[in-house]
Chains A and B, each alone.
Chain A
Amino acid sequence: MRELTDGSTAIVRGALDAGCDFFAGYPITPASPILMMMMRELPRRGGMAIQGEDEIASIGMCIGATMSGARAMTATSGPGISLYSENIGLAIMGEVPLVIVDVQRMGPATGGATTTGQGDVQFVRWGTGGGYPIIALAPSSVPECYTLTMDAFDLAERFRCPVFLMTDKELNLTATTVEVDGWRAVPVRERPARAAGGDAPLPPYRYDPPADVPPLAHYGAGEVVRFTGSTHDERAFITKDRATVERLNRHLAAKIDDHGDEIERVTLDRQPGATTLWIAYGSTAGAMRAAAAAARATGRAVSTLTVQSLWPVPERAIREALAGIERVVVAELNHGQYRREVERVAAGRVAVSGLHRIDGELIAPEQFLEAAA
């Protein structure tokens, strides 16, 4: 059995199957179908979906709902991510699990509402003050939209942080043919119970060892819970104590940086004898795989690497993929944002070039073949 469906539907199914029970968003092309489907589907399952007065309120309500024990998601496009910026920082600092879908379109500013793009890749990584790490996943097909949405919920719980699901207009709005039994679900961990604190409230935060992530404390679960977006001690009181400030800030970085292997998601298709490696993500990776098949049909060996976890950069996987490779082409619908990361990992040992398209159309398989010529 097959069906004709799109990435928006796959993301909503993934969210529902991951146990999402709160959604808030603001209408924006090309993310609106997710909002509309969540508004329709969530209350039927006892959840709640709200259309906020703007993007700021939408992500703010998601953060508040999570602190009341909900599993929350929001969805927008680049202009909305701009408005999410301050609250992305709050979710990082307050250690709030949250899934943020960014259905990318051409930017900057209002840009091209109905044209696809991949220009938010560095933006989501550095889109709030402080420079702390986030997690970003990028499905490259409609079935992956489903699986990686569930993954995003699981990683948000695991690391108590905002997790971005980076898609694009093409992936979300173009209907394509998928196998009905081809949806791959992944387990999404339960929120662990917190040990009873006795008379003294159990601290909501913990910084030692730095990479450990304590269970989320939420309201209405039988304990006094404090939350703050200011620099705080383990009890969520504002502090300037230098040792505590440093422990907090080390923790916020280490909990993600030290677990790269757990977050890493790539698909390496290594062709024997290939000295050229193509790297892509999102809808561009589909064209890359089509081009690789065409190249191989004519006897040209090309290896491909589809990156499904953009942040943190899967450095180990990229280094492995570079073994035996003389030339790398990073293809993306921007001026070369992820190429910077590949160049950093390659560290001059392999020639890295970019294949870009910024006219609102997809990179065509023929462009890959020309780039490899």
Chain B
Amino acid sequence: MSAGPTTITPLATYRNESPYPFCPGCGHTVILNHLNEAFRLLDRDPREIVLVSDIGCAGLSDQYFATSAFHGLHGRSVTYACGIKLARPELDVLVVMGDGGTGIGGTHLINAARRNIGITVLVFNNLNFGMTGGQHSTTTPAGAVTSTTTAGNLERPLDVAATAAVNGAGYVYRGTSFDKDLPARIAEAVRAPGFAILDIWELCTAYYVRGNQFSRQALFATLDELGFATGVVRHEEVADYGAAYRAANPPRPDSPSLPPKGLEPRFAAALARRFELVVAGSAGQKVRTAVRLASEAAILSGLAASQRDDYPVTVQTGHSLSAQILSPEPIEYTGVETPDALLVLSTDGLKKVGRHLAAMGEDGRVFAVPELGELPTRAPVTPIDLSRAPGKLNRSLAALAAVLGALGLLPKEALEEAARLGPEEYRAGNLAAIAAGWSLASGL
């Protein structure tokens, strides 16, 4: 096997001994020879170069180089290259993709450019899909005849370079396989710390040339007609995303990750069986935090607690429900079909507990703010009137404390301790709410 027409020592090439497989006259051979020259200019260790290839004829490229390589799925080459570079920033990571890759992987190109992840993308842009039979691609010029645009292409071609440039890519170049300075431009792109892309136009002799009487002259004429900028389109000093990330996120090895909020049981609850309590209110009523505090109070009382919250995806409106289970035994089943008690704090909450109200029997207990009127349930309904409480009072917690006290589920001291263990800014308010609620408990 021959390494090509020139005689070079093994150290002077990044190619392996396999001859290229491309058609006679195909631009891929020329560009890959320029790429090899660029590697020589850069003088990097081939082990530290990762050539990521997309799919199609250009996707075969990695097999002809003695560098590290990654051949993945169509359009996704940029994502693999980003992962490789982010995890190991010292590597030179280059992507070779065809124009097909700019369509199927367009979002990845744009987002890698926008983030300035320090990879270098070479688009082997021969204006059609060569490997699969000459179909039109995102970059096929309007009017071109391909196997899928037999009446002439109706689509405007994607301006790959302008798209990358307008989204902030650090280095953008557009040229052709005929450019003599391509090795220098590729080397320049690799040295640029941010995202770099070279949109390299070339001839597909198997299809596009034959279908459109296309030639070197026609290629330059098409670039002119489209008004696509050529040469170095953009070269700005931008930081590689990985470097910026590491600078913005210094390691903090002394700071523990997700430390447990350990609760030591030190109070006694009289609860002898599993008890299910649903609290139904509105967004902004602090239902979830009130129930959370009660769950922690239950743990402080030697019980197990579970809490399932339910709220609409538009979080600041509509209902806010928390289903709480208290049990002297570990809780294996966290579902609630028919709660033992239900606390309804608002119309939003009421709309969501119809099935509970219908299912609850005379042994259940429903507590509700008085303005909700008569509720459709067989369970006895007890009003909780906090209308005369101070305006700032956390009414959800106060009402919940009243219910927990009235039902004898948890000791007041456990609720107070849970409040003291909580965020300092809410401590006084939570203690006031517990006191206000507890004072109502005996009357419920």
Contacts and interface: CB of A to CB of B under 8 A. Distances in A.
Contacts of B60: 238
Given A177-B330, A219-B50, A5 B260 contact: yes
Interface in A269-306: 283, 286-287, 289-291, 293
A251 B334 CA distance: 43
B257 interface: yes
Interface in B54-102: 60, 62-63, 66-73, 76, 79-88, 90-91
A361 B295 CA distance: 22
Contacts of B90: 220
Contacts of B335: 170, 287, 361-362, 364
Contact of B79 (A44, A56, A219, A220): A56
A53 interface: yes
A226 B52 CA distance: 10
B178 interface: no
Interface string A64-92: 11111110100000000000001100100
A3 B260 contact: yes
Interface string B270-304: 00000000000000000000001001101100011
B87 A41 contact: no
A258 B87 CA distance: 33
Nearest to B298: A177
A63 interface: yes
B299 A2 contact: yes
Interface stretch (B210-218, B247-255, B396-404): B247-255
Contact of B304 (A60, A65, A68, A177): A177
B251 A46 contact: yes
Given A54-B107, A56-B79, A230 B71 contact: yes
Contacts of A220: 47-48, 88, 90-91
Contact of A177 (B72, B245, B306, B310): B306
A64 B308 contact: no
Contacts of B295: 4, 175, 177
Interface stretch (B131-139, B197-205, B261-269, B344-352): B261-269
Interface in A1-45: 1-5, 9, 12-13, 16, 21-22, 24, 29, 37, 41, 43-45
Contacts of B313: 29, 113-114
Interface in B185-207: none
Given A286-B333, A289-B332, A236 B72 contact: no
A57 B299 contact: no
Interface string A215-234: 00001101111111110000
Contacts of B261: 3-4
Query: Which of the four size classes fits the interface of chain A?
Result: 35 or more
Interface in A96-116: 113-114
B interface majority secondary structure: mixed
Given A57-B111, A64-B84, A65-B86, A224 B308 contact: no
Nearest to A44: B252
Given A44-B249, A65-B86, A228 B260 contact: no
Contact of A48 (B72, B107, B245, B330): B245
Contacts of A37: 258
A237 interface: yes
A178 to B, nearest CB: 9
A1 B87 contact: no
A2 B251 contact: no
A293 B258 CA distance: 33
Contacts of A289: 332
Interface string B320-354: 00000000001111110100000000000000000
Nearest to A227: B70
A200 B251 CA distance: 38
B112 to A, nearest CB: 9
B79 A69 contact: no
A141 B332 CA distance: 8
B334 A283 contact: yes
A130 to B, nearest CB: 13
A176 interface: yes
A89 B309 CA distance: 36
Interface of A: 1-5, 9, 12-13, 16, 21-22, 24, 29, 37, 41, 43-46, 48, 50, 52-54, 56-57, 60-70, 72, 86-87, 90, 94, 113-114, 141, 170, 173-177, 180, 219-220, 222-230, 236-238, 283, 286-287, 289-291, 293, 361-362, 364-366
25 contacts: A2-B262, A2-B264, A2-B265, A48-B86, A64-B70, A64-B81, A64-B83, A67-B70, A69-B87, A69-B88, A86-B76, A90-B72, A170-B334, A173-B309, A177-B295, A177-B298, A177-B305, A224-B68, A227-B71, A229-B72, A238-B71, A283-B334, A293-B332, A362-B333, A365-B333
| A-B CB proximity, top 5 nearest | A64-B83, A60-B79, A43-B249, A61-B83, A68-B87
Given A45-B257, A229-B71, A287-B333, 8 more contacts: A44-B252, A48-B87, A113-B313, A175-B292, A175-B295, A226-B68, A236-B71, A238-B63
Interface of B: 46-48, 50, 52, 60, 62-63, 66-73, 76, 79-88, 90-91, 107-108, 110-111, 242, 245-246, 249, 251-253, 255, 257-258, 260-265, 292, 295-296, 298-299, 303-310, 313, 330-335, 337
